[in-house]
Structure 1
Amino acid sequence: MLGSRAYCRLVSQNHRSGLVVLGTACFVYVTAETIPVGLLPQISDGLAVSEADVGLLLTSYAVVAGLTTIPLTALTMRIPRHLLIAVTVAIFAISQLIAAFAATLLILTLSRLICAVAHGVFWSTIAPVAARLVPPDRAGRATALVFLGNSLAIVLGVPLGTALGQWLGWRVALAALAAGGAACVVALLVVLPKLPALPQDLAVGAGARLKASVRIIRNGPVAAVCVITVVLVIGHFAAYTYIAPLVRRDGGLQGLGLSALLLGYGAAGLLGNAIVGRFVDRRPGPLLITLTGLMAVSLTVLVPVLGAVPTVLAALVWGGTFTAIPVVLQSAILRVAPQARDAASAVYVVAFQVGIGGGALVGERLVSSARLAWLPGLAAALTIVAALVVLAARRTFPAHAPTPGPAAA
């Protein structure tokens, strides 16, 4: 038999390209999901609607993704995982193409809702797929590698998409995302190894699988991760959805200045993701406490109007911490539910989407009532609450990953 290190080396040689392609798919998905944040003024002007209305694109997207994730994940468990991932990205590419030609906010919203239907299945499947490509004790690192695509989306996708949208128009930016999605579909089909559905998934009917997916929330550690996720993400997206007007108020940043800030925000996230990937399999609890603490401090700095330099520095810390936090949370889900990774991941995705939708909605309500300045304070307070839940749920973040049995994945 191969030793652990030899096996890891063999897996790395055979499937690193698969992890890279999965990360690329994450890149285009996250860029598309958050691009309205950077192009808020352009979309608002182009469709003759308010910035607050454009901000609700994130809320409607999150609502549909949250409602469809668990049932669609259960219904698709028998589909080979490499094909399922490719199909979800193909739906993404089609939706972006429709969005690029949307003449009204309604059509733009509907095009994003098409993508939202596939969104939950994509995100509930991608981490378990990455885990199947590596030994059990490297699942956290594999997740971190794939989620580098999320960080790159913030460091490159959103700022470059914002700059492209400001230069050639927001429709061109969305068309570019559609092309990127189509290229990802081809790469996924070529590079990913064949990943058939697991035997236990083939043996269980869709109805029983749906019930199991709902029951997984009764698992105490899974529920704890979901509570932390909802609270933290509501706070983050309440502020992040309106980062353009927020930094315009705090630091006078707009246009290319905003693009540069988003670039720095994402670069900090990329660095944070790389650092977290080295420790997430060993000390996830203390790591998450450190990240939420730093995030709360950075958001608190954004409450008063302190000028450009403090605003930029706080935004960098904010980006570095929040972008890395989902790596810890997703890894925790894989650890605490090794026999039901897809079901637990689906519940986690729902929690994340509830957080995104709830945060964008809260942000819209505050912005519409001229309370923009409240957003970073609210986000800081909710981040502190999430940190307290982490402290109260220590067994949710064990120092050593359990070894999954033959049913896991």
Structure 2
Amino acid sequence: MTVPQHPDGMRYGAIIALACSAFVYFTAETLPVGLLPQISASLHVAPATVGLLVTVYAAFAAAGAVPLTSLTLKVPRHLLLILLVVAYVVSQALAAFAPNFGVLIAARVLTALAHGVFWSVMAPVSSRLGPRGQGGKASSLVLIGNTAGMVLGVPLATILGQTVGWRASYGVLAVAGAAATVGLILALPKMPPTPAQASATMRRQLDQARQVILSKPIFVVCCVTTCAVIGQYAVYTYTAPVVARAGGISGTELSLLLLGYGATGLAANVFVGRLVDRHPGAALAGCFGAVVLALVSLSLLHGQVVTWVAVLVWGAGFAAVPLILQQAALRLSPGRRDTASAVRQTAMQIGIAGGSLVGGAILAAGNVAWLAPFGAVVVAVFGVFAVLRPRVFPLTTDPALAPVTTEIEVIATRRT
């Protein structure tokens, strides 16, 4: 049976299913940001220690992305994505019933290992769900699920955790993951491995990953990704103490603030999704500029209104950065898009781990006031670095010249 396809060439059913999967994965990844005080009190660990839930998650996602993606190249893409979301469901259920911090960390490790492969595979698959020249648009539609995790997932899970308990939040995420699994089963077209994937070996794939990393343009993308994300997550992981200091915001208002952060991010992601195929460099410069402006405001200005405005601008600025960097990696690696996606995903997770670790060290030293300035400086420096690399992040490109991936051939037949 032919997979329903919109007249404009977009496979919206598969896009929605992937967006829902991205939604649950992102919500789980960043959930400790909103529930840091509750988990700390319940499991009797320091807030900076709870931050390790983000650090450890990112570290294992980074470590596993390339080797696990290489090991699973022979698995049909549709089946692999389904299995990865099933693993997510199991890990969230384990977290919901974790008797201590060690078991909670173990549950996060399981999610993280699946996460690294999920995002590595999802990126090239999502860009393939649109017609030629609109891969960025298709990816931006899938990443609406990511942003929706900020808009609805994290804030609502935070409210639930504050009122019922943090375990309830993880339980609801397990149920949501099960629903996303059903969506993938029903909507994803068959994606059998290509001959190149079927004959791939672990050694060959790791060698290919090494070649991709050593490619100067991809190295630049990874460098910008890691360092900018370090600046972002040094602050974002500890949003609760940062906004409490800047604007006296906590409790339910913190949940509403996170909702606003995600809402402006969603709007920005939709807007930038229309630009990323034609004006990637300009879009990246604008996003980094907004992040720096917001973090400088949180550093120098105080008050509830100023904090709200700064956080809303911050959300709008950073939301589309992963999309722009992802599309740059795919554009620069025709024929190796799975590998390039895995390498960029690794770079991002290293940044998340490094940022949350540095932020935790700053917080543990009692210097919460230094979190936002640190983030602003790091993002500004590497934002300028990116702008000065027009071959990697050109101000204008011709989307009609975008390469068509040969790694994933989407066969337009529904799974039976």
Q: Distance in 1 between matches of 2:18 and 2:156?
A: 21
AA in 2 matched with 1:34? T
**Equivalent residues of 2:73, 2:193 under 8 A apart:** yes
In the alignment, does 2:350 pair up with 1:354?
yes
Which of 298, 305, 311 is the matching residue for 1:309?
305
Which of 183, 186, 203 is the matching residue for 2:199?
203
RMSD: 1.3
**Equivalent residues of 1:231, 1:385 under 8 A apart:** no
**Equivalent residues of 1:251, 1:305 under 8 A apart:** no
Which of 104, 118, 125 is the matching residue for 1:122?
118
Q: Deviations over 1:199-239 (max 9, x none)?
A: 22123322211211222111111111111111110000000
Q: Name the SS of the counterpart of 1:384 in structure 2.
A: helix
Count of aligned residue pairs for this structure pair = 401
Q: Distance in 2 between matches of 1:229 and 1:59?
A: 16
Which of 358, 369, 391 is the matching residue for 2:387?
391
Q: Distance in 1 between matches of 2:361 and 2:182?
A: 41
AA in 2 matched with 1:377? P
Q: Distance in 2 between matches of 1:309 and 1:148?
A: 27
Q: Name the SS of the counterpart of 1:396 in structure 2.
A: coil
Which of 164, 177, 190 is the matching residue for 1:181?
177
Q: Deviations over 1:375-400 (max 9, x none)?
A: 10010001111212212211112412
Q: Distance in 1 between matches of 2:405 and 2:357?
A: 42
Residue equivalent to 1:407:
406
CA drift at 1:359 = 0.3
Which of 46, 50, 54 is the matching residue for 2:42?
46
Residue equivalent to 2:96:
100
Residues 222 and 375 (structure 1 numbering): CA distance in 2 closer, same or farther, change over 3 Å?
Answer: same
Q: Deviations over 1:298-343 (max 9, x none)?
A: 1000013511111110000000110111111111111111211000
In the alignment, does 2:18 pair up with 1:19?
no
Q: Distance in 2 between matches of 1:242 and 1:220?
A: 33
CA drift at 1:172 = 0.4
In the alignment, does 2:242 pair up with 1:246?
yes
CA drift at 1:405 = 5.4
AA in 2 matched with 1:9? P
Alignment of 1:239-318 (within 5 A): 239-318=235-314
Q: Distance in 1 between matches of 2:205 and 2:90?
A: 29
Q: Distance in 2 between matches of 1:34 and 1:294?
A: 21
Residues 25 and 69 (structure 1 numbering): CA distance in 2 closer, same or farther, change over 3 Å?
Answer: same
**Equivalent residues of 1:75, 1:210 under 8 A apart:** no
Q: Name the SS of the counterpart of 1:282 in structure 2.
A: coil
TM-score under structure 1 length normalisation: 0.96
Q: Distance in 1 between matches of 2:125 and 2:285?
A: 27
Residues 339 and 187 (structure 1 numbering): CA distance in 2 closer, same or farther, change over 3 Å?
Answer: same
Q: Deviations over 1:113-152 (max 9, x none)?
A: 0111111100000011112222231110011000001110
In the alignment, does 2:332 pair up with 1:322?
no
- Uncovered stretches (5+) of structure 2, i.e. residues with no partner: 409-416
- Uncovered stretches (5+) of structure 1, i.e. residues with no partner: 1-6
**Equivalent residues of 2:6, 2:12 under 8 A apart:** no
AA in 1 matched with 2:162? Q
AA in 2 matched with 1:11? G
Residue equivalent to 1:234:
230
Residues 208 and 312 (structure 1 numbering): CA distance in 2 closer, same or farther, change over 3 Å?
Answer: same
AA in 2 matched with 1:292? F
Q: Which moved more, 1:180-189 or 1:389-398?
A: 389-398
Q: Distance in 2 between matches of 1:229 and 1:119?
A: 17
Q: Distance in 1 between matches of 2:214 and 2:70?
A: 17
Q: Higher helix fraction: Structure 1 or Structure 2?
A: 1
Residue equivalent to 1:171:
167
Residue equivalent to 2:414:
none
**Equivalent residues of 1:141, 1:277 under 8 A apart:** yes
Residue equivalent to 2:7:
9
Which of 101, 109, 112 is the matching residue for 2:108?
112
AA in 2 matched with 1:41? P
Q: Which moved more, 1:212-221 or 1:292-301?
A: 212-221
